[in-house]
Structure 1
Amino acid sequence: MDPTAPRPLDAVRLRTEALEVDVIGYGARISAVRTPDREGRWGDVALGLADGGAYRSDPAYLGASVGRYANRIARGVFTLDGVEHRIPTNEPGAALHGGPGGFESAEWEPGESDGRSVTLRRTSPDGENGFPGTLQVAVTYTVDGGDLRIEYEAATDAPTVVNLTNHAYWNLAGGGRVEEHEVQLGGSHILAVDEHLIPAGPPMPVGGTPFDLRSPQRIGARLREGHPQLRAARGYDHTFVLDGPPDSDGLRFAARVVEPRSGRTLVLRTDQPGVQFYSGNMLDGTLVLRDGSAARQGDAFCLEPQAFPDAPNRPEFPSTVLRPGEVYRSRSVVRFGTVGGQSRRAS
């Protein structure tokens, strides 16, 4: 690892012998992740910008903590305890990731770091972007060997809705296209979407469709097929409903990704009911990354563990309501490793 690698001005660096993660306060973002390939060569596997200031004009949520409600709320409207709440929309027909100027645009306060863990906090005031209740929210990033743990907690003084996740963009090759990455997801159903990417109808079985990723498939293998759901989202941008019981840690398998050339692997486990698999469809070349390249469609993918989109309007979905006296919690573990070789691990 290179401890002199450049970092954004306000970054906190977390480090083990197998993993190095930079976190910045603006948006409580993961700004860089470095890990070795099968030959022990270190590379940056998370899309990031050159400095902290560049994130203030980032429209793609690179590495951000998104909320107060990750993913979409139809028309930006929901009713809670008989009261209608309106969230400003930032997409046609939807409020995405809490609406314009959400948690990704907020200054979070980082606590003291021991080099392995850091907690960032903020207060979301009552009425912020139309959401009820004052929300005290925290995210903790911890590295342990090749694991990156991401844990969210929140408490409110009035009934509200909460759905938080991290929006890192991954490229395990450290650059170039991701279509040769092999992905496996732990869901036999997806939430099919309408033209505004709002869930439409009951969960759809993935069998016989380009969404059958229950066994490893190249991301690009069926990306350009004419399936109506691929056309609606311009690629993959769907919630996979996770199957099976949780393990002894209370986490379910969500995803495994292998990059064949470097041998790098990523395994995601989470306590959330779904994972949003996004193939970077809206990257259009306007974002200039820290290596000077332009981020384009197919340059990265996202795996966002979260509750279901539009759940405040869908009583059949798991509830996202948080009431006073309750604590919202979300836990995920991203494990980095290699196949076809050995990477160094922390003792």
Structure 2
Amino acid sequence: MPGAQGGAARCGAHARIAASRQPTQKGRNPVQPGIQQAPFAQLPDGAQVQVFTLANAAGMTVRILDFGGIITEIHVPDRDGVFADVALGFNTLEPYRGDSPYFGALIGRYGNRIAAGRFTLDGQDFALPVNNGKNHLHGGVPGFDRVQWRSRIEGDELVLDYRSPDGEQGYPGTLDASVRYRLTADNEIVVRFSAVTDRATPVNLTQHSYFNLAGGGNILDHELTIDADTFVPIDAGSIPLGNLAPVAGTPFDFRVPRPIGARIDEADEQLRNGGGYDHCFVLNKPAPGAMSRAARVRDPGSGRVLELFTQEPGVQFYSGNFLDGSLAGKGRVYAYRSGFCLEPQHFPDSPNQPAFPNTILRPGEVYATESRFRFSIEP
């Protein structure tokens, strides 16, 4: 899902062309398994931002900041054993504090949009700042993506905690949120969210990494599968219309593998409203809250595969429609549709949509959800 970005200019580069811009190496990454911590940058108030490197015995490495809980790098091999960084991001802190479209960040209190920045809860009206046209997006500015989290290492997990005070960005109640990152021996990035509140409040936390499994170029030939029979239609402001629509017979049918770019430019009202894909897909679940495979993406050129498993009822698929070449980092220019997002979450604007699954957390309840991003290779 985009931030408040400007217009987009097309980039016709094939996904494999720019892969050579990324530092690659054959064989295992020379990082010891476990979690290592190092200074990354200093904030204007003097606080030190730390970077944590998670590595496993297979050579996969993931780098995460305690600022915004941002995943800055994900190094995985292709079918020839050549490692590349498949996450969009930056080498330095300043772009993340600037106009970054949420690259790699934790999102809260509410991922996705809330219409007109307003909702009513228990008979009281609340107003949130609008930062995406007329709407509230991803918790406002600053949201959880632009604050420093308290960090610690517990065994094989990086634990990040943040206390969001009552009234922050207009939300009621003090929310204590925690995120646990873990890299498994099976090349899975496990993300576990939990939160408690002292007053009823909307909560919809998610992880907002952008991926390019080729390591560069566009993502239009990546083959996508989403286990969803329906999706959430939106208006021109990306606010849900209130109903669910079947994917059958539309460009939103990814129940079997299809290239992302196969139908992205068709004359379809929903594609026009999103500028491409920027929609929440309603996942087929054996039971509410069950962990299941939501999506699978394969890059035919490199053989890299990403699978998303989640307990969330939906996944926002975003095809990088507002990337326009104005941002660059780690030796890459982030051009039109050069990255995709799979954001596990509840549905957008749920506080104003009574038919959607509940997103209100109340005192005495524990918000808890887990998602897994699994990387593999297809020969």
Contiguous gaps of at least 5 residues in structure 1: 341-347
Matched, 1:287 2:327: yes
Shift of 1:174: 0.9
Aligned residues of 1:246 and 1:271 also touching (Cα < 8 A): no
In 2, the alpha carbon distance for the partners of 1:233 and 1:240 equals 13
Once the two structures are superposed, residues 291-345 of structure 1 have per-residue CA deviations (whole angstroms, 9 ceiling, x without a partner) of: 1x221221000000000100001111111000111111121011100001xxxxx
Task: Identify which of 245, 250, 268 aligns with 2:308.
Answer: 268
In 2, the alpha carbon distance for the partners of 1:220 and 1:86 equals 38
Partner of 2:339: 300
Shift of 1:257: 0.5
Partner of 1:344: none
Aligned residues of 2:192 and 2:369 also touching (Cα < 8 A): yes
Task: Identify which of 244, 251, 256 aligns with 1:210.
Answer: 251
Matched, 1:312 2:351: yes
Task: Identify which of 72, 77, 83 aligns with 1:36.
Answer: 77
In 2, the alpha carbon distance for the partners of 1:89 and 1:211 equals 29
How many residues matched?
Answer: 337
In 1, the alpha carbon distance for the partners of 2:31 and 2:374 equals 24
Matched, 1:72 2:77: no
**Which residue identity does 2:177 align to in structure 1?**
V
SS at match of 1:118: strand
In 2, the alpha carbon distance for the partners of 1:206 and 1:334 equals 24
Partner of 1:120: 160
Partner of 2:45: none
Matched, 1:331 2:370: yes
Q: Which moved more, 1:180-189 or 1:97-106?
A: 97-106
Once the two structures are superposed, residues 108-133 of structure 1 have per-residue CA deviations (whole angstroms, 9 ceiling, x without a partner) of: 1111254x320111100000000000
Once the two structures are superposed, residues 161-202 of structure 1 have per-residue CA deviations (whole angstroms, 9 ceiling, x without a partner) of: 100000000001111111110000011111000011011031
Q: How does 1:86-235 map to 2 (within 5 A)?
A: 86-112=127-153, 114=155, 116-145=156-185, 146-235=187-276
SS at match of 1:231: helix
Aligned residues of 1:7 and 1:51 also touching (Cα < 8 A): no
SS at match of 1:111: strand
SS at match of 1:112: strand
In 2, the alpha carbon distance for the partners of 1:8 and 1:302 equals 25
Aligned residues of 1:279 and 1:297 also touching (Cα < 8 A): no
In 1, the alpha carbon distance for the partners of 2:31 and 2:328 equals 22
Aligned residues of 1:15 and 1:21 also touching (Cα < 8 A): yes
Shift of 1:7: 9.3
SS at match of 1:288: strand
Partner of 1:2: 29
In 2, the alpha carbon distance for the partners of 1:192 and 1:108 equals 34
In 1, the alpha carbon distance for the partners of 2:325 and 2:218 equals 13
Aligned residues of 2:312 and 2:346 also touching (Cα < 8 A): yes
Alpha carbons of 1:317 and 1:200: their partners in 2 closer, same or farther (altered >3 Å)?
Answer: same
Q: How does 1:26-65 map to 2 (within 5 A)?
A: 26-65=67-106
Once the two structures are superposed, residues 36-84 of structure 1 have per-residue CA deviations (whole angstroms, 9 ceiling, x without a partner) of: 1111111101111012333111430000001100000000000000001
In 2, the alpha carbon distance for the partners of 1:106 and 1:303 equals 22
Q: TM-score, normalised by structure 1?
A: 0.94
In 1, the alpha carbon distance for the partners of 2:335 and 2:123 equals 43
SS at match of 1:11: strand
**Which residue identity does 1:197 align to in structure 2?**
S
In 2, the alpha carbon distance for the partners of 1:8 and 1:149 equals 23
Aligned residues of 2:277 and 2:321 also touching (Cα < 8 A): yes
Shift of 1:284: 1.5
**Which residue identity does 1:140 align to in structure 2?**
R
Aligned residues of 2:194 and 2:368 also touching (Cα < 8 A): yes
Partner of 2:284: 243
Aligned residues of 1:267 and 1:335 also touching (Cα < 8 A): yes
Shift of 1:17: 2.5
Alpha carbons of 1:42 and 1:246: their partners in 2 closer, same or farther (altered >3 Å)?
Answer: farther
**Which residue identity does 1:217 align to in structure 2?**
R
Q: Over aligned residue pairs, what C-alpha RMSD do you find?
A: 1.7
Aligned residues of 2:130 and 2:140 also touching (Cα < 8 A): yes
SS at match of 1:285: coil
Alpha carbons of 1:313 and 1:301: their partners in 2 closer, same or farther (altered >3 Å)?
Answer: same
Aligned residues of 1:48 and 1:289 also touching (Cα < 8 A): yes
In 1, the alpha carbon distance for the partners of 2:66 and 2:372 equals 21
